Amino acid sequence: MRLLGLLVVCAAVCSAGEFAVLANGSRLRGDRHEAAEGNKVRLYNGPGFIELDAAQVASFEHFEDPAPPPAPAPVAVVEAPKPVLTPAELADAAAEKYGIPATLIRSVMAQESAGKTNAVSPKGAIGLMQLMPGTARDLGVDPYDPAQNVDGGARLLLALLMKYDRNLWHALAAYNAGEGAVQKYGGIPPYRETVNYVKKIDRAYKKADQGN
């Protein structure tokens, strides 16, 4: 699971990147992008990337963050610890960042880990969004860090939704059983676990969405 490229060197300290403007109006921020095999586009964000069909990307908008002002003289300050976000707050933050309904991410999280940050499945899936180590590596996240875990899981879910033209059931089936299984069966694979997984999340998502 993986979204061409700009590298800008500034005389002053600055950073550059781009927004991928999707055909559905969503915008994804990244460092750069490049063409991939099979008429795909990869959008890189740090060491990770997501991969989408090129037809789903309407355009790219480049930007540069202005150079920061000179740092003030150091002052001895004891910083307050950053607040630790709850799983629900992490889901809401990822939803706002990637343009996915927060209720959907929460429903996936509840089904995957029951909201337990330290959850590890018998198959080795890790954390709130139950990322396999290889998937986390491809996404460039530390699966043991709750914030990175949810961010990576949300990016993966978005990539699957885009791949399957917003077909939620196919995206959820691929999240659970893998894209290969969905391709093999032309839809939801006939695995009891996957069928129940898709139905439970769809039901919970719709119920939560109706309650808002």
Angle at which helices 168-177 and 192-211 cross, to 10°? 130
State whether residue 101 is helix, strand or coil: coil
Q: Which of 34, 89, 96, 112 is catalytic?
A: 112
d(CA 126, CA 189): 23
Q: What are 61's strand-pairing partners?
A: 19
Burial level of 155, CB count in 10 A (0-12/13-18/19+)? buried
Residue 186 to residue 211: CA distance in whole angstroms = 33
Q: Which two tokens stand for residue 127?
A: 């954390």
- Verify whether residue 179 is a known catalytic residue: no
Active site residues: 112
